[in-house]
Amino acid sequence: MEYRGVEFTVVQVLRRNLWRWYATVNGVWLSGEAETQFAAVAEAQRVIDQTLWRWPTGH
């Protein structure tokens, strides 16, 4: 998936109702977990926004 020019991945782990997301922004590795796919995507987007706000990439 892509959000604001940042590629991120959301995957379901073997344990039911657990989704993990991963992204890299300006060399900073980001990851997290959520109970639903929708929540994982929303959290990834929120963290990407926060990271871009702190360390703008210029794109």
> What's the pLDDT tens digit per position in 3-57?
999 999 999 998 778 999 999 998 889 999 999 999 999 999 999 999 998 876 6
Size of the chain, expressed as the number of residues it contains: 59
> Phi then psi for 53, rounded to 5 degrees?
-65, -40
Q: State pTM to two decimals.
A: 0.86
What are the angstrom distances between the C-alpha of 50 and each of 13, 16, 36, 45, 54? 25, 29, 21, 9, 6
CATH number belonging to domain 2-54: 3.30.160
HSE-up (13 A, CA, CB side) for residue 50: 9
CA atoms of 33 and 57, how far apart (whole Å): 25
Q: What is the pLDDT of residue 46?
A: 97
Write down the domain spans for the chain.
2-54
